[in-house]
Amino acid sequence: SLSALAKYLGVYEDWRRLIHQYQLKWSGKSKDEIVIARLTKVKNPEEVFEWIKAVKKARPDYEAFMDFIAITGLRFVEAVTSYNLIRKLEKEGKLSEYYDSDKEVLEHYKFKDLFLRKAKKVFVSFVPREVIQRIIENGKLGRSGIQTAVKRLGLPLRFGDVREVHNTIMSKYLSEAEINFIAGRISGSVFMTNYFNPKWITDLKQRVFKGISEIQNKISTA
């Protein structure tokens, strides 16, 4: 931000000189601090699920989306993009190019421009057929519209926490490598880059759906 401001003010070269002269450096939190922050921010283990239910009760038109992001653990932008793509392809009669109804999996990797971004990626998401059908029957959503609506309800934006909870619950049923794959986190390890292939894991869907079932029970408003 300071570099951008320096460029805007026309003093970028002076800024770079000062950085070199005073050996200025910026560093984020240490790994220990990140873990401690994550542990201390949660007061009630059920609070994220209660937040999801509060949004669903106040805005029934967002119920399908909230269930979708909760059971997939997608990043907010990815979830909105996927949600609208499902509806678009269904109208065009092309949903099968994205959603394999037999395997109940969204194949994001087929739409590289949308889901395989430089820093953030997602390859597949397991989604029950009934959730896909509810999305099809719902209206189109916009990122800013959802965020604005949640704020107007007097609720915080906790979509990032939803992803954290999803990954944590899945750790009961999946290995770290499996969670990383579904979450789109492909590290530089030799194993993940060159050997890991979920196609060889015949019970992956079964175990993912156990996690999905647990999440659905926690966010049900029935």
Evaluate if pTM is beyond 0.85.
no
Residue 84 or residue 5, greater confidence = 84
Which residues are CB-contacts of 195 (< 8 A; sequence separation ≥ 6)? Answer: none
Whether the per-residue pLDDT at 38 is higher than 60: the answer is no
Model pLDDT for residues 124-154, shown as the tens digit of each residue: 999 999 999 999 999 889 999 999 999 999 9
pLDDT of amino acid 85: 98
111 sits in the region (left: phi over 0; alpha: psi -120 to 50; else beta) called: beta
Which residues are CB-contacts of 212 (< 8 A; sequence separation ≥ 6)? Answer: 71, 126, 128
Model pLDDT for residues 12-27, shown as the tens digit of each residue: 777 777 777 766 766 6
pLDDT of amino acid 176: 92
